[in-house]
Amino acid sequence: MKPSLAGEGPRASGIVAGRLPAEAIARNFSDIAPRFDDHEAMVAADRCYFCHDAPCVAACPTSIDIPMFIREIATGAAESAARTIFTQNILGGICARVCPTETLCEEACVREAAEGRPVEIGRLQRYATDTLVARGGHPFARAAATGRRVAVVGAGPSGLACAHRLAMLGHDVTIYDARPKAGGLNEYGIAAYKAPGGFAQAEFDWLLGIGGIEVRHGVALGRDLTLETLRADHDAVFLGVGLAGVNALGIEGEDKAGVRPAVEFIAELRQAADLGALPVGRRVVVIGGGMTAIDAAVQAKLLGAEDVTIVYRRGRDRMGASEYEQDLALSRGVRIVTGAVPLRAIGDGALAEVEFAHVREGEAGLEATGETFRLAADQVFKAIGQRLGPLPSRLALAGGKIAVEGPGRTSLPGVWAGGDCAAGGEDLTVTAVAEGRDAAMDIHAALCA
């Protein structure tokens, strides 16, 4: 057995609050990419070639006309640029902050291919959307009321995009959400430094400016209402319930204090009034390789954890988190260990270590090498994916998610679905927005047929 990668010496105290002074935490959780000022935006926009074939547009799940909005910025029409963005993506503000542009529009940018430095599309999008929202008002007007009523279950990105588009088309929408705040992952599931200052709630309040949307919080499907009731009381139903369950590690000691889902930690951090009062371990291990793993690890470090390690079963090139996000974690002092799977959580009462086995890629998948190692840990975050919560058995599933055809049609007439809970597509905010918007258009066509 190899020695602990965390080093030797007596183990310090476990999970405590106040590891850093308030000013250090405020600095650590400040906006990671402040918005452009007017001059910076003009300079950045001037780098765009305004390509006729626009590979950046093809790479955007919401198909924003990127050359158009950048040209509008370049001519001093930031508000027009924002309307171009919001026409395709009503949550363009949050997407400008959290979208992995480095693997989507900016990776496809001709400047990236030619120079290794793309046009900063994400920051330009933020500049435009922030400019319009700051000046007040809503960019769209609601159509005449149709008298049709639609239920949207889930106030995450897909649900909000669907609700807004339906309301804009004149339908009356009621959003049902289990949590006390709207926004879904935008509110509860992203790193705090990506959207500080209550941005997700401010964007939600702004979105409601279209009118025609009622929101009911603390109402969960299956607990407080049934799909049958929703179908009976509404002309259509859209399910944007996300993924409520968390996958288990399936190892000995997983139930020890200090082992918890990463999504719970991130949600707790996002809702904390005082980050300095949030307990964090001295030695933290995060198991997983996606964005949730990165966000949990980086934020643990920013809260004052001394030693933070991400452990992923495959190579870095197979991680769900982009190379940019991996490098961000490394720059904050997070270590990434690859080719290892957890075996057991160890400790006499409290968590003390996690034992891992080295693995390699084989013809039949991952194969154990026979070597193991241990990491000292007083806190472990599980970030190996989420799963669908309980749903009516009449809904057909595919790959553990709701089966859909076309723009979100489920196996039940009058019921659509989109976002993370629906099969197909990537689990990205921008993809969820596109699916919610497209489902709304299909619902509208069905209701007006």
DSSP 8-state class, residue 392: -
Q: What pLDDT, on a 0 to 100 scale, did the predictor assign at position 7?
A: 38
Q: What is the mean pLDDT of residues 385-399?
A: 89
DSSP 8-state class, residue 253: T
Residue 11 has pLDDT above 50, yes or no: no
**392 falls in which pLDDT band (50, 70, 90)?**
confident
CA-CA-CA-CA torsion sign (393, 243, 412, 227): positive
Q: What pLDDT, on a 0 to 100 scale, did the predictor assign at position 110?
A: 96
**33 falls in which pLDDT band (50, 70, 90)?**
confident
- β pairing state of 283-287 and 379-382: parallel
Residue 1 has pLDDT above 70, yes or no: no
Put simply, whether the predicted model's pTM sits higher than 0.75 gets the answer yes
**Alpha-carbon Rg of the chain, whole angstroms?**
23
Distance (Å, rounded) from C-alpha 259 to C-alpha 222?
Answer: 28
Q: What does each C-alpha distance from 123 to 17, 95, 221, 371 come to in angstroms?
A: 34, 10, 37, 45
**2 falls in which pLDDT band (50, 70, 90)?**
very low
CA-CA-CA-CA torsion sign (68, 72, 75, 80): positive
**171 falls in which pLDDT band (50, 70, 90)?**
very high
Residue 128 has pLDDT above 50, yes or no: yes
- 3-state secondary structure (DSSP) of residue 396: coil
Query: How many other CB atoms are found less than 10 A from the CB of residue 444?
Result: 21
Q: What pLDDT, on a 0 to 100 scale, did the predictor assign at position 307?
A: 97
- 3-state secondary structure (DSSP) of residue 13: coil
343-361: pLDDT as tens digits: 999 998 889 999 999 999 9
Task: Decide which of 393 and 292 is more confident.
Answer: 292
